[in-house]
């Protein structure tokens, strides 16, 4: 259940209207790396965690709710940057009296020029934010991701925070308004904070590589195919040890010949790795059983009915118990 | 600023998993008439009201926040309906041990059949809701509307509540789960409640027809063009008085001839209406001035800076003053 | 079956080319509130009315066809505003001879600048309208709505007319061309006319609230949840009587506590309303039976075949009968 | 200006309801190769032809209007195939009395199963067609194309007719209803008819290859790059003469070596072609001048105003003159 | 299997940065008529040809791979046109030192103005191409088409080449950079070359009209409906013989009357054509059997397994055999 | 420049047709986590690296090209799974002879049932893959991301590999075909390999946190806001040290009160961190200068022209030099 208070989480302010920056800032209101994307991604992922991972659920909902609050900050800033637009549109009757809209400019020509910056502000939304990116693409749920597995979802969230941080960094170059910059810097910093929260949560789950349950096939996990010829380089990504499995990279310089030699890789063999098909199967079964049991135990219906919430007093009791259980759980997940 | 508490606004419960109904229910999670659409529509519209219409802002944010809370109810219900899917996916290693997923069914064939109902649940989201409609279309900001004018926005919101109500009504036919029906009925009823709130708010603004500022041209406002021939009918929509302006409908039986006779309607004349070009201009100017002043006064920067929030103690004081001012305001808006 | 005549319904004219206004006007050609949206929405809704509601079918097709005719007016105006673009693009060979494109401007720099206004006009559509909104989003069927129920659909149509009216009102501020303004005002006025037609049609159906068949649950239909704290206001939407059901609004000041006190609203009781569960069920059954019978009777196959049209002479006879039947029907629907 | 008559262009009939085929048939109602796509593509292209190419405008509007009429046939057929769905949804109150929906099936299980076929029909549109393809993707203006040049547009239209024909051919395999097949065969045949109309119109414009104005560069117009190795084939597309320019195909067996040898094709030379840079430039200039003049002359404003239509009597006179002029025009365009 | 070499197929060069032209050029990187569309369309179509039509598969993959290489040329050109953008964004810290970004311009105002041209370049992609069209619409698979039938697919590909050619032709008017023009002209020419390859391949398949298998119904294949009245014209598309079937066009001047007279065309009769229902059925069966056998024979599993590739030596042998078989095949397909 | 060889990178095989699994597998052909997404994401990111980061360019193009090759494997597998569909569609004429399509099933009912699984395969693509996900959403460039900064892009790529791995893991549960499983396991493993390559490349860039240039504000970088109440948990994400900056988490239990106490966080102070505003500014300037210089130096035009490729012999020389330079570069980037 959500609540709202009318004060913003951050005291967003604006010096003067600026339709151009309002347009750019839309990127973080309704764009693919923006606040709504983050809020909805964590909110949607959280449903699956509610029962089996209440600690991660708590974190995801804390951050999702903060992102909704940031969405409000961004929207409020855009609204203030658009001051004057709505009032001028209400001045619909008397065209001979076209007075200043923004920043002391007076001519109709200027007014039309402003409208070209983002027609939606002027002829559709009437001077309020639109749920689009900076060029007008409507927000799409294509932007949000979740795989029903925390070792995957937390990594996707790190990606989301990464790109959101970049957009704020870029945006700061396009305004001189110290108040607006102040808000942008706050918002950018919070992405850095969330990044670390997700990283810490990911680290608390072991094993967390590879994401999901199944191990990779040792025949193919450390091959590097040189598919782009000319100016070839070596680096830690194709020589030495792979960073997570610690296998020795195998550089395949001529992939076509290699593929032909191995009957389309069917005859490939594992090399440079201690892992075997047997060790893989063992690991798969062990992790599979453990994770399945965790989910099934937590979500099994009780007394023929499933419910989401326990209200009030029972709540407090249960919460205390849960926290104790969680200590192990986070370590072993 | 948003807050979240972990209890749902309504105690949503589910008897047993049901992937098929989970699929249908997605329509209200990520569909065009669903809870996210409503929540985001009112939330986005609210930005423009914050200063000039604080009472309507309060209402919009009350309802938007409730809709977010309903989105959570719908998502929680889908999650419970999908119980078993995530656990079974974790069972990734041991294929010979494919046990029951849902409802006592045991064979792989059945499992694959379930996956066909909505592949996203099984291979993408890992048994959690997806932000799509019931056939998998991603939620799109194309669904939300707002024109920066309350006489328009409130009507659009009535439309949103209307269609949301219909989908819940339809959904109820497709489940026998009494707990699920209970939640659906609650959610359907709230759409009816919100419908009336928006209607009341619209009625409190006078004049509210036509939406926006400008009056219609009396030459064209009461013409009915009979553009579809054969089985023509008369009704209150083309004979007698028009319901809002009270003009006499003029039925144009042969539009082509009429258009030719009037040089493409340029020679059209007003008929069946007391309104004149002069009365229209007067009304336009009056309303234009009034509404513009209201917005401009409320949004003008103070001391060279615009801010959104006043924190804490000042807040309480200001709120008291505002409410007094509002009494007139609602009447005169 | 559609027909076309080459004269426009309104004698649209343009003084001189204006690429910028052509861009803005696209909003009503291929935008979410534009003419195609309206035309297609009414056209699609009409299929379901053909048999059970021939009078509403007639009205929907009259208005849909007029909207197609308006789409043509908007497109023709854009085409005239783009005069010169296509010709200049044909001038593909001789770059040294780059002459004026639009409005007496001569330099290549100007030409490129024009192209930036809307690249689609210059490099894709070759100087013709594109089926997009003013920033280039392709028209999407996400814009159209219909629920298979006239008490819902007519309300959605009122919303569609509302937003279309607003966009025309806004557009008028961005052109000085008296001919273009003339067309815009005509088009704006027709939205006001259609609004009233839909309202009249809705009023002719009783009962029409709530939309659809099912009554709301009296336990939840008049509750107002104060979900957004700070600067709370009272108004007709949360105190006094609800405007359509006439129930007494119940203001819930602290929703969280209320939800906890009522076990997630499960223990909620009806208050401030004469409606009871029993009266609701009675109303549901009565309306359900009536509306179902109306539809089923009208759509039942005859002699093992369903057909859409009766051609020519039979047509005239049937039409006369139908009209007589309709008198009751409109009142009782 | 459009008109509508309530009779369909083709007497579409249906034997009995069939939700599954209704779903498939949506492909031609709101799908990328369907009737709306065709109608809108020709309608939008027509704007640019109105003045410079009145004969092609006439043809495009004739076919566009027929396609709208076909859209109506497809929609009517879907509506009839869905008979029963709307009535059953109106039966919202009495769940114990769930009677047959479609085809004599009676159980709720069956009803839910039907809903899975296309949830939109049951919970969103209430038993009417939706403007989507067969899997629910909303119709998008991405489907329509037009380049502002008849030698291009007519080819795109041939493509549109081609794919529409294929879908009808495929659809016929999925229904046994002789009435439905009858309609499908009519619709399929009309695509073949339109294909030939567009081909004839294209042939009447000379030169029409390449599309547009500019000639291709003889250095690169007849090279064939063998970019995919293994099982290479020769055919008329890479040996002998090219079908439209009549140049000798040059087969480049080792593109990488060739590119290196020619400094990235900068040093490429024309071979196997009589065309030269000079002949190309001459052709470009000639065609450029001719086509530009045609457009500019036809679209130039007269007396300081552009208009689209001439009403009534003047119309008839002008039409007679125009036709005489057209005789040359079609040949020389 | 794909390979990449780091040299471009064409030696693309750029004189100086130009954000505006970079924006326009996006149309061919991520737009509906651009290089990715072409590459993916042919690539996807090719799968179905692999077995039954290895010669056409070879051609489709040759051209698809060239289009991927052209996509790289376009992207490289955009990247060079954006030189300076990424570097300046890295200059994130020191705002007082805002130096020139592009083309010697120095002020922040100019920088912001540049950002308005395409905000994505500056705040999202950091100075690299985005996979959108020139106004920012994300590339969509809606752009690609394929019907599983070469007589249809090759025609669709001719359409694709047609529109791509037009966009390059238009683009050339908006840059003075001789190096960029050089690349554009190369790319435009290749579309003309591919057009002819597809035409030649289509011609090699007989019969290839109508596309697909089924013949058109002679009752409807040569009717021309005069659906748009006023200024009607005659031309090869509605009088004389139809260009592909050679039937006599039947001009229906008053479609409504005609439809009424024929009971909705049910009573229509073939006229002006030697084709009969019997000849149509014979042709259908013959072609159906031939094409089905070709596909089925080529795709039947062998020894209980289907495979895509034969590696290395067997490959060479098989290829030789195949080519011999193809000689007939191309002629008779 | 790309090349293609007709052998697949992996010898994909299929036992027997399976339309259902073909539908599921579409998720990795045209879905948001699939092969095309990966290929295009790395390909597009690579443009910006070409000059300043040739080693990362090499890696990105190696992996992008491998992903295109995987796209081909997935498409080939779908094509084989659809064996029979195209042949049966060619059997268009003789309906009385409807023979088996797939897996020995013979009745028309079965055939229609198959079509319901994915109508696109049967009525649109004619038995070839479609560029959509498993429920038919067209592939969209919304899926690809790139920020013009390697410390961001490589993290986004790790996210891409993560989700692709998960989908393959999930898919394996839905087929019994050992050949298909073999291919899926190979493809899944390669995602794990690529994950590690991107991680290694990221590690080779120092500093790489936070992504981009700008440091976070120490006032806000280590605050944890408890925005979701009830069942609150502590973990490494809100107590102890943050994992990347090593700051002490500050847990804000009552965010509303905190925000009010700090005037909307304006009065917030850094706590639990050694970082200061001064240290932040120093770090910003240093990194800013370094990264800007790297990009600017690498991309500056030479001799008034920018080019992308050096062909042939010069190439080899340059490559040798570059590699030497890269040793430092990778360390210092």
Q: Mean pLDDT check: name the lowest of A246-255, C127-136, E4-13, F95-104.
A: F95-104
Contact C228 A4 (CB under 8 A): yes
Q: Out of B20, B167, B228, whose CB is closest to D112?
A: B20
- Nearby residues of C332 by Cβ (< 8 Å), 6 or more positions away: C206, C290
Establish if B323 touches chain D: CB-CB under 8 angstroms. no
pLDDT score recorded for residue D26: 98
Higher-pLDDT residue of F222, E101: F222
Q: Average pLDDT for residues A33-52, to the nearest whole number?
A: 98
* pLDDT tens digits for range E15-53: 999 999 999 999 999 999 999 999 999 999 999 999 999
Question: Is C260 within 8 Å of chain A by CB?
Answer: yes
In this complex, do C174 and A123 lie within 8 Å of one another by their Cβ atoms? yes
Q: Is the Cβ pair F122, D174 closer than 8 Å?
A: yes
Which pLDDT score, from 0 to 100, does residue A321 have?
Answer: 54
Nearest Cα of chain A lies from the Cα of C150 at a distance, in angstroms, of: 27
* Helix-then-strand count for chain F, H and E: 11, 6
ipTM surpassing 0.90, yes or no?
Answer: yes
pLDDT tens profile F229-274: 999 999 999 999 999 999 999 999 999 999 999 999 999 999 999 9
User: Per-residue confidence at E315, pLDDT binned at 50, 70, 90?
Assistant: low
Best residue of F16, F50, F79, F120 to probe chain E, by most E CBs closer than 10 Å: F79
Mean pLDDT of F69-91: 96
Say which range, A99-103, B23-27, D32-36, F277-281, has the weakest mean pLDDT: A99-103
Q: Are B35 and A97 in contact (CB under 8 A)?
A: no
- The whole-number pLDDT of residue C92 equals 80
The pTM assigned to this predicted structure is: 0.94
* pLDDT for residue C274: 97
Q: D49-73: per-residue pLDDT in tens?
A: 999 999 999 999 999 999 999 999 9
Q: What is the pLDDT of residue D319?
A: 55
Indicate the helix (H) or strand (E) that contains B316: helix B313-332
How many Cα atoms within 13 Å fall on the side-chain side of residue A102? 24
| Phi/psi of residue E126, nearest 5 degrees | 60, 40
Tell me the longest C-alpha to C-alpha distance in chain B.
84
Per-residue pLDDT, D327: 47
C-beta atoms surrounding A249 within 10 Å: 22
Residues whose CB is less than 8 angstroms from the CB of residue A39 and which lie 6 or more positions away in sequence, other chains included: A64, A65, A67, A68, A70, A71
> Confidence band (pLDDT; 50, 70, 90) for B98?
very low
Contact F198, A237 (CB under 8 A): yes
pLDDT digits (tens, 9 = 90+) for B203-224: 999 999 999 999 999 999 999 9
Q: Judge residue D110's burial from the number of C-beta atoms within 10 Å of its C-beta, 0-12 exposed, 13-18 middle, 19 or more buried.
A: middle
F7 confidence band (pLDDT: 50, 70, 90):
very high
Q: Note whether F200 contacts A: Cβ–Cβ < 8 A.
A: yes
Neighbours of chain A (3+ CB pairs under 8 A): B, C, E, F
Which segment of A115-124, D305-314, E130-139 scores lowest on mean pLDDT? D305-314
Written as six digits, the tokens of C156 are 């959605």
Shortest distance, CA D66 to any CA of chain B (angstroms): 16
Listed in sequence order, the residues at least 6 apart from F156 whose beta carbon sits closer than 8 Å to its beta carbon are A159, A162, A163, F41, F145, F146, F147
* Span A144-186, pLDDT tens digits: 999 999 999 999 999 999 999 999 999 999 999 999 999 999 9
Angle at which helix A150-171 crosses helix A19-30, to 10 degrees, equals 180
- Provide the angle, in degrees to the nearest 10, between the axes of the packed helices D150-171 and D19-30: 180
- Residue keyed to tokens 């011609």: E203
Average pLDDT over residues E242-252: 98
- Which pLDDT tens digit goes with each residue over E75-92? 999 999 999 999 999 988
Q: What is the pLDDT of residue E269?
A: 96
Is C10's pLDDT higher than 90?
A: yes
Residue A25 touches partner B, C-beta closer than 8 Å:
no
pLDDT attached to residue F303? 80
Q: Taking 50 as the threshold, does the pLDDT of residue B99 lie above it?
A: no
Cβ of F156 within 8 Å of Cβ of A142? The answer is: no
Q: Tell me the sheet residues that pair with F277.
A: none
Burial class, F318, CB count within 10 angstroms (exposed 0-12 / middle 13-18 / buried 19+) = middle
- Confidence (pLDDT) at D320: 54
Smallest CA-to-CA distance from E309 within F10, A266, F25, D227 is with: F10
Q: Which residue has the tokens 């100019």?
A: E110
Least Cα distance to C115 among E22, E70, E82 occurs for E22
Which is more confidently placed, F292 or C313? F292
Q: Which residues contact D20 (CB under 8 A, 6 or more apart)?
A: D117, D174, F112, F116
Q: What are the C-alpha distances in Å from E20 to residues A58, E134, E182, F141?
A: 47, 10, 18, 22
The residues in D 140-159 lying below 8 A from E, measured between CB atoms, are 140, 142-143, 145, 147, 149, 152, 155-156, 158-159
State yes or no: pLDDT of A103 exceeds 70. Answer: no
The pLDDT of D212-224, averaged and rounded, is: 97
Query: Which residues fall within 8 angstroms of residue D63, CB to CB, at 6 or more apart?
Result: D38, D42, D194, D197, E227
Query: Whole-angstrom Cα distance, residue D226 to residue A90?
Result: 64
pLDDT tier at A331, thresholds 50, 70, 90: very low
pLDDT value, residue C300: 87
> Among all residues of chain B, which has the CA nearest to that of F20?
B116
What pLDDT shows up at residue D236?
98
Q: Note the pLDDT of residue D330.
A: 45
Across the interface, whether the CB atoms of C119 and E136 are under 8 A apart is answered no
Q: Name the phi and psi angles at C228, rounded to 5.
A: -120, 115
* Residue D5: pLDDT over 50: yes
pLDDT over threshold 50, residue C330: no
Question: Whole-angstrom Cα distance, residue E315 to residue C154?
Answer: 66
Minimum distance, in Å, between the CA of residue C205 and any CA atom of chain B: 11
Chains that touch C (3 or more CB pairs under 8 A): A, B, D, E
**Confidence bin at C304 (pLDDT 50/70/90):** confident
Residue B165's pLDDT band, with cuts at 50, 70 and 90, is: very high
Instruction: Specify the 3-state DSSP secondary structure of F248.
Output: strand
Answer whether E1 sits within 8 Å of A255, measured CB to CB: yes
Query: Is 80 exceeded by the pLDDT of residue B52?
Result: yes
CB of A178 within 8 Å of any CB in chain B?
no
pLDDT in the model for residue A153:
98
**CA–CA distances in Å: residue B277 to residues A52, B207, B210, C187, E206:** 69, 19, 16, 16, 69
Query: Collapsing DSSP states into helix, strand and coil, what is residue E253?
Result: coil
The whole-angstrom separation of Cα C145 and Cα C167 is 19
Task: Examine the pLDDT at D239 and tell me if it is beyond 90.
Answer: yes
d(CA B178, CA B18): 13
CA distances from F164 to A212, B123, C106, C314, D105 (A): 11, 11, 54, 63, 42
Q: Is E299 an 8 Å CB contact of chain F?
A: yes
SS (H, E, C) E83-125: CCHHHHHHCCCCHHHCCCCCCCCCCHHHHHHHHHHCHHHHHHC
Q: Do A175 and A18 contact (CB within 8 A), yes or no?
A: yes
The answer to whether residues D132 and D139 touch, using CB atoms and an 8 Å cutoff, is yes
Nearby residues of E328 by Cβ (< 8 Å), 6 or more positions away: none
What would the pLDDT profile of F85-106 be if each residue is shown by its tens digit? 999 999 887 554 444 444 444 5
The span from the CA of E117 to the CA of C136, in Å, is 14
C50: buried, middle or exposed (CB in 10 Å: 19+, 13-18, 0-12)?
buried
pLDDT, tens digit (0-9, with 9 covering 90-100), for C78-116:
999 999 999 999 998 755 444 444 444 456 788 888 899
Among A45-59, A151-165, C82-96, E277-291, the least confident range = C82-96
Classify burial at E260, counting beta carbons within 10 Å of its beta carbon; exposed 0-12, middle 13-18, buried 19 or more: middle
Distance CA A88, CA A100 (A): 8
Is F93 touching E (CB cutoff 8 A)?
A: yes
Mean pLDDT of C259-268: 96
Q: Using a pLDDT cut of 70, give the percent of chain C over it.
A: 89
Q: SS3 for A332? A: helix
Interchain proximity B148–A129, CB inside 8 Å: no
DSSP code per residue over B90-102: H--S-GGG----S
| Residue B84 pLDDT | 94
Smallest CA–CA distance from F236 into chain A, residue? A200
Nearest-CB residue to C312 (from E230, E231, E260): E260
| Sign, CA torsion A279/A282/A287/A292 | positive
pLDDT at E261: 96
Residues, chain B: 333
Query: Judged by CB atoms within 8 Å, which residues 211-230 of D form the interface with F?
Result: 227-230
CA angle E94, E99, E102 (to 5 degrees): 130
Contact F95 D173 (CB under 8 A): yes
Q: Taking residues E93-113, report their average pLDDT.
A: 60
Instruction: Give per-residue pLDDT as tens, F153-189.
Output: 999 999 999 999 999 999 999 999 999 999 999 999 9
With an 8 Å Cβ cutoff, are A309 and B7 in contact? yes
Q: How much is the mean pLDDT over chain B?
A: 91
All chains having 3 or more CB pairs closer than 8 angstroms to chain E: A, C, D, F
Instruction: Give the residue among D319, C106, A30 at the shortest CA–CA distance from B143.
Output: A30
Please give the pLDDT value at position B256. Answer: 96
Using DSSP bridges, classify how beta strands D250-252 and D223-225 pair: parallel, antiparallel or unpaired: parallel
| Min Cα separation D88/chain E (Å) | 31
Q: SS3 of D226, please?
A: coil
Between helix A178-203 and helix A54-81 the angle, nearest 10°, is 170
Cβ distance of E1 and A135 shorter than 8 Å: no
């Amino acid at each position: 259940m959500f609540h709202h208070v009318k004060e913003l989480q951050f005291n967003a302010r604006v010096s003067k209207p600026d339709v151009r920056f309002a347009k750019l800032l839309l990127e973080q209101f309704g764009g693919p790396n923006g606040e709504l994307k983050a809020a909805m991604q964590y909110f949607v992922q959280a449903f699956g965690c509610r029962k089996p991972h209440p600690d991660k659920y708590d974190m995801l909902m804390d951050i999702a709710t903060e992102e909704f609050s940031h969405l409000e900050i961004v929207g409020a800033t855009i609204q203030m940057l658009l001051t004057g637009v709505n009032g001028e549109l209400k001045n619909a009757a008397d065209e001979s009296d076209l007075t200043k809209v923004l920043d002391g400019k007076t001519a109709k020509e200027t007014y039309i020029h402003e409208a070209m910056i983002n027609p939606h502000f002027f002829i559709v939304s009437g001077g309020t934010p639109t749920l689009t990116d900076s060029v007008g693409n409507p927000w799409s749920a294509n932007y949000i991701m979740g795989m029903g597995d925390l070792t995957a979802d937390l990594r996707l969230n790190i990606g989301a925070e990464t790109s959101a941080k970049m957009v704020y960094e870029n945006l700061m170059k396009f305004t001189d308004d110290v108040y607006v910059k102040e808000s942008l810097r706050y918002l950018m910093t919070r992405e850095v904070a969330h990044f670390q929260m997700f990283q810490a949560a990911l680290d608390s789950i072991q094993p967390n590589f590879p994401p999901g349950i199944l191990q990779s096939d040792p025949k193919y996990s450390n091959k590097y195919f040189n598919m782009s010829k000319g100016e070839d380089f070596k680096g830690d990504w194709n020589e030495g040890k792979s960073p997570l499995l610690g296998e020795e990279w195998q550089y395949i310089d001529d992939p076509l010949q290699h593929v032909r030699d191995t009957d389309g890789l069917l005859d490939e063999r594992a090399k440079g790795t201690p892992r075997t098909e047997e060790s893989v199967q063992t690991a798969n079964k062990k992790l599979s059983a453990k994770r399945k049991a965790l989910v099934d135990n937590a979500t099994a219906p009780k007394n023929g009915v499933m419910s989401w919430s326990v209200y009030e007093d029972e709540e407090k009791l249960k919460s205390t118990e849960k926290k104790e259980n969680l200590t192990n759980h986070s370590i072993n997940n």
